[in-house]
Amino acid sequence: MRPPAVPLVAHDPYFSIWSLSDTLNGEATKHWTGKPNTITAYARIDGKSYRIMGRDRGNQPELPQKRLQVLPTRTIYDFSGAGVALTLTFFTPALPDDLDVLSRPLTYLEWSASSSDTRDHEVAIYFDASSDLVVNTPDQPTLAARVQIDGLPVLRLGGKEQPVLAKRGDDLRIDWGYLYLASDRAQGVTTFAGDRATARAAFDATGELPATDDFVEPRRGGPSLALALNLGKVAASPVSRYLMLAYDDLYAIEYFERRERAWWRRNGATAADLIRSARTEHDALLARSRRFDADLVADLTKIGGAKYADLAVLAYRQTLAAHKLVADADGTALYFPKENFSNGCIATVDVIYPGAPFTLLFSPRLLKAQLQPVMDYSRMDRWRWPFAPHDLGTYPQANGQVYGGGERTEENQMPVEESGNMLILLAALAKVEGNADYAARYWPQLTRWADYLQEKGLDPENQLSTDDFAGHLAHNANLSIKAILALGAYAQLAALTGHPQDAARYRATAEDFAKKWVGLAAEGDHYKLAFDKEGTWSQKYNLVWDQILGLKLFPAEIARKEIAFYLTKQNQFGLPLDNRKDYTKLDWILWTATLAEKPADFEKFVAPAWQFANESASRVPLTDWYDTKTAKQQGFQARSVVGGLFIKMLSDPAMWKKYSK
């Protein structure tokens, strides 16, 4: 696959650097929002410099890129030229079974060089990181400094003013905290903080950086951090070194007026501890990550085919990078998604829901950490509605709902949507954990939501659903499915928590509603978009939970009929969301495809979606909302909802058990 954007350094909504071109040296690197987040690299081979990453010096010769491979925890670029084979790997040990490592905001840049001819070659590596990584806008002044950590030279860069957690919104970059640049060891390393042109001129001339820094005064548009690695004479056997690029945000989230530290910082760890641990554990983490990557790619391919594996792997780090894991005052893990390029909301329930297959598969603990803020908010006196909230604020400030009037009005909220989402996710959590202890802690809230769905869910009023870009829709058949399955999910939870009478009553209601749904939605060879709209259709992606949770509320024939119908409605780049427009949602395509009983039918839905990612002219981190005829982005990018692509793995009980353990 040619990814529309390639993850390089992808940790959270602020520390997130991507390549948006076919080659790493084809264009400058950027933040997921599309604004400059500039890191550059050069290789000096036998006295001549070649561009490896970035394009700010267009006249510099480039070392030809030969290969790109994106894996769950690594992005690998191979270059070859001037008698040298060079590999640059961006390695982020994003291991979901280890929250301490997963939460570390540090990426390794692994360099390996070998001779590709019969001669030895002198090789040195240059890397720099620009001040645009530590400011929201380029007019903000920055300061650089250098420190020593266990004898290791480390460079630091940050904004002069440090407005910690002061700004909230969507199209923003971080302007507080500090960027760190360090190497694996001190030998053969020179470092410099100051003017980039000065650093590069010195490297081009000598392979080393200036001995004197240039960062005394804060400046706009600089300084940069630069590091040069002398690999010495390179022969047939590879010579390998690595750099570390890290970001300490000091405080990460504001949660009901409390400033929360990132999870890795919860016991008082500092940036020095971060770099020290990363260097000490590098070899072990790399070995673990290689095993994880190989296993996951093999299992994805086994479950859904090679093209499915490509899409899911591309979604892996993007899903994680749209979240921030923090520790509450009592040490509780809280995991906050940001609604990237949508409205910037934090802890959005209908973003947690589509992305939840990721956390259900890899780390149910992370799903609980996502749900915890929503559950605690819903039982506060300030949340007075009988349905679940939509969000907790605007990133990074989780101080209360802002969508649709927030706590002030019911207008333009998503009552059926969010209540159904929460009940389904809590039942899925109970299924993977084997108990409903977590749900039992919030039983009054769950009962209120189930009662609301019992009254409003079968034939929803003129409400928004998660596909709010399509506008309000009354009698929404897919939303009705969600409500019915949520009532069945509540019945499952009631049985697990010692409420047998409620379990029987709500199960009977869900069964009755499912029978009525068939009569309301049926239309010949398919089922309608809305009960009152003849000649319409829509993806019934919510139906997938009937299978995954083992609810068995709807006849299997419904999914069979829908799948057969959808296969007649596909366009070049995928299945439209419904009959109204040609646009679709990538996550929902995979949910719908998972309804297919035949692997060949599943792959028929995946193939056009893969083609979209491979050919789209919209060079952004994987968008989930695009046109199925043009492959162009409609909106949204870099969102965590692509974690929903892993739902196919949940449909295989053995695979789900393997990873969730």
Phi, psi (deg, nearest 5) at residue 48: -120, 135
Q: How far apart are CA 294 and CA 234, in angstroms?
A: 29
Per DSSP, what are the bridge partners of residue 245? Answer: 107, 181
Domains of the chain: 6-290 (2.70.98), 305-660 (1.50.10.10)
Q: How far apart are CA 611 and CA 505, in angstroms?
A: 47
Q: How far apart are CA 591 and CA 581, in angstroms?
A: 19
Q: How many CA atoms within 13 Å lie on the side-chain side of 524?
A: 6
Please write down the long-range contacts of 233-236, taking CB distance under 8 Å and 24 or more positions apart. 233/120, 233/121, 233/122, 234/84, 234/113, 234/114, 234/115, 234/120, 234/121, 234/122, 234/123, 235/114, 235/115, 235/120, 236/114, 236/115
Q: Is there a contact between 34 and 259 (Cβ–Cβ < 8 Å)?
A: no
SS3 581: coil
Which parts of 384-465 are beta strand (E)? Answer: 397-398
Q: Is there a contact between 335 and 24 (Cβ–Cβ < 8 Å)?
A: no
Q: How far apart are CA 485 and CA 494, in angstroms?
A: 14
- Residue 217 has what pLDDT? 59
pLDDT at 608 over 60: yes
Tokens of 39: 């890191």
Residues 476-489 have a mean pLDDT of 98
Q: Is there a contact between 75 and 47 (Cβ–Cβ < 8 Å)?
A: no
Average pLDDT, the chain: 96
Per residue in 499-558, pLDDT (tens digit) is 999 999 999 999 999 999 999 999 999 999 999 999 999 999 999 999 999 999 999 999
* Residue with the two structure tokens 């009901």: 256
Q: Is there a contact between 324 and 260 (Cβ–Cβ < 8 Å)?
A: no
* CA pseudo-torsion sign 299, 303, 307, 310: negative
Tokens of 203: 């490297």
Q: Is there a contact between 10 and 320 (Cβ–Cβ < 8 Å)?
A: yes
pLDDT at 220 over 80: no
Residues sharing a CB contact under 8 Å with residue 98, sequence separation 6 or more, in sequence order: none
pLDDT at 613 over 80: yes
Cα first-last separation, the chain: 30
pLDDT at 219 over 80: no
SS3 593: helix
Tokens of 95: 């291991």
Lowest mean pLDDT among 196-200, 232-236, 639-643: 196-200
Q: How far apart are CA 627 and CA 614, in angstroms?
A: 14
Which parts of 371-445 are beta strand (E)? Answer: 397-398
DSSP 272-299: HHHHHHHHHHHHHHHHHHHHHHHHHHHH
Per residue in 620-661, pLDDT (tens digit) is 999 999 999 999 999 999 999 999 999 999 999 999 999 998
* CA pseudo-torsion sign 59, 63, 64, 65: negative
Per residue in 72-88, pLDDT (tens digit) is 999 999 999 999 999 99
Q: Say which DSSP state 118 is in.
A: S
- Residue 214 has what pLDDT? 78
Choose between 56 and 139: higher pLDDT. Answer: 139
Q: How far apart are CA 615 and CA 630, in angstroms?
A: 10
pLDDT at 618 over 70: yes
pLDDT-derived band at 60, boundaries 50, 70, 90: confident
Helix (H) or strand (E) holding 634: strand 633-635
- Residue 270 has what pLDDT? 97
One-letter amino acid of 465: S
Residues 359-381 have a mean pLDDT of 97
Residues 258-282 have a mean pLDDT of 97
Per residue in 92-134, pLDDT (tens digit) is 999 999 999 999 999 999 999 999 999 999 999 999 999 999 9
pLDDT-derived band at 57, boundaries 50, 70, 90: low
- Residue 405 has what pLDDT? 78
3-class DSSP string for 506-542 = HHHHHHHHHHHHHHHHEECCEECCECCCCCCCECCHH
* CA pseudo-torsion sign 631, 636, 639, 644: negative
- Residue 406 has what pLDDT? 74
Angstrom CA distances, 322 to 32, 339, 346, 374, 551, stand at 10, 8, 10, 17, 31
Per residue in 310-322, pLDDT (tens digit) is 999 999 999 999 9
Choose between 40 and 218: higher pLDDT. Answer: 40
Q: How far apart are CA 500 and CA 508, in angstroms?
A: 12
Angstrom CA distances, 634 to 171, 195, 206, 231, stand at 17, 39, 48, 46
Q: How far apart are CA 117 and CA 81, in angstroms?
A: 10
Tokens of 212: 């004197």
Q: How far apart are CA 275 and CA 280, in angstroms?
A: 9
pLDDT-derived band at 408, boundaries 50, 70, 90: confident
pLDDT-derived band at 407, boundaries 50, 70, 90: confident
- Residue 314 has what pLDDT? 98
Percentage of residues of the chain with pLDDT beyond 70? 99
Residues sharing a CB contact under 8 Å with residue 435, sequence separation 6 or more, in sequence order: 496
Q: Is there a contact between 620 and 7 (Cβ–Cβ < 8 Å)?
A: no
Q: Is there a contact between 252 and 261 (Cβ–Cβ < 8 Å)?
A: yes
